Structure 1
Amino acid sequence: MSKNIDRLRGFARDMRRAPTEAEQRLWGALRNRRLDKLKFRRQVPIGSYIADFVCMEAKLIVELDGSQHAESARDVTRDSKLEEYGFRVLRFWNDDVMRDLDSTCATILAFARDVSLRQDWR
């Protein structure tokens, strides 16, 4: 078990070192409590998964997806498991972040502040 945890942590560290352009852009808006003083971490191991961005205080995971995630059954299973751990998962396309970072951040903030919100547009 410990070997799997170490492997996952190493993979998360590698992902932090080589972010996608969209991840880098969103991280610039989230890091150092820049979004309404909310603390976000990036590439965080949770269970057997690695979440792109996590706000523990709001129990919110933000995932950025490329086209390989379109209609992905694997993502549905993953999101269900993360929800079992008590998190809500909010997904954005990489293009959304690149095209309109302000709207992306406004949506993240709304979800972080209102736990009754659910993503139903994806």
Structure 2
Amino acid sequence: MSPTHIDASTRELARKLRRDQTKGEKALWRALRELKADGIHIRRQAPIGPYVADFVVFSCKLVIEIDGDIHALPDQLQHDERRTAWLSAEGFQILRYSSLQVHENLEGVVLDIRRWLDLD
């Protein structure tokens, strides 16, 4: 499945995830929206092929993920590995941050993303 072919169930999941964002996702989204002034267009809860990325910058094929505690569970770890492999095969780079990192050091997370995007 290519990144441009999105089935209806994935689109509906993305809509649901946009409505039900975590506190960390909401906080990071508010900060990332400010990158628009730097010419960076970021989408949140964006479908890519069979998956939904927390945040994506399609222009440079960057996916930003915020991982909560559930990502430490064995089934979720396997799912994340398959997802990362698929996204990497499609040319995406993945930056992962824990929800704790976002909660305790939002400024540092944003600075790291800005550096990755060559904005600082």
Where 2:45 maps in the other structure, the secondary structure is strand
Which residue identity is paired with 1:54?
Answer: V
Tell me the percent identity.
Answer: 38
Which residue identity is paired with 1:66?
Answer: G
Query: 1:40 is matched with which residue?
Result: 42
- How far 1:34 sits from its partner (Å)? 4.6
Query: 2:78 is matched with which residue?
Result: 73
Q: Distance in 1 between the 2:38 and 2:100 partners?
A: 23
**After TM superposition, what 4+ stretches of structure 1 lie above 4 angstroms from structure 2?**
none
Q: Distance in 2 between the 1:85 and 1:45 partners?
A: 13
> Which sections of structure 2, spanning at least 5 residues, go unmatched?
none
Q: Cα–Cα, structure 1 residues 35 and 76, in superposed 2: closer, same or farther, change >3 Å? A: farther
Q: Cα–Cα, structure 1 residues 90 and 73, in superposed 2: closer, same or farther, change >3 Å? A: same
Which residue identity is paired with 1:67?
Answer: D
> Which sections of structure 1, spanning at least 5 residues, go unmatched?
115-122
Aligned residues: 112
Range 44-53 or range 102-111, more displaced: 102-111
Query: 1:52 is matched with which residue?
Result: 54
Q: Distance in 2 between the 1:94 and 1:21 partners?
A: 9
Q: Distance in 2 between the 1:5 and 1:62 partners?
A: 22
Query: 1:118 is matched with which residue?
Result: none
The structure 2 residue matched to 1:94, chosen from 99, 103, 117, is 99
**1:35-59 Cα deviation digits (max 9, x unpaired):** 7431100011101000000011221
Does structure 2 conserve the Cα–Cα contact (< 8 Å) formed by 1:16 and 1:43? yes
Q: Distance in 2 between the 1:17 and 1:61 partners?
A: 19
- Which structure is higher in RCO with an 8 Å CA cutoff and minimum separation 6? 2
Instruction: Report the TM-score, using the length of structure 1 for normalisation.
Output: 0.83
Where 2:91 maps in the other structure, the secondary structure is coil
Instruction: Report the TM-score, using the length of structure 2 for normalisation.
Output: 0.84
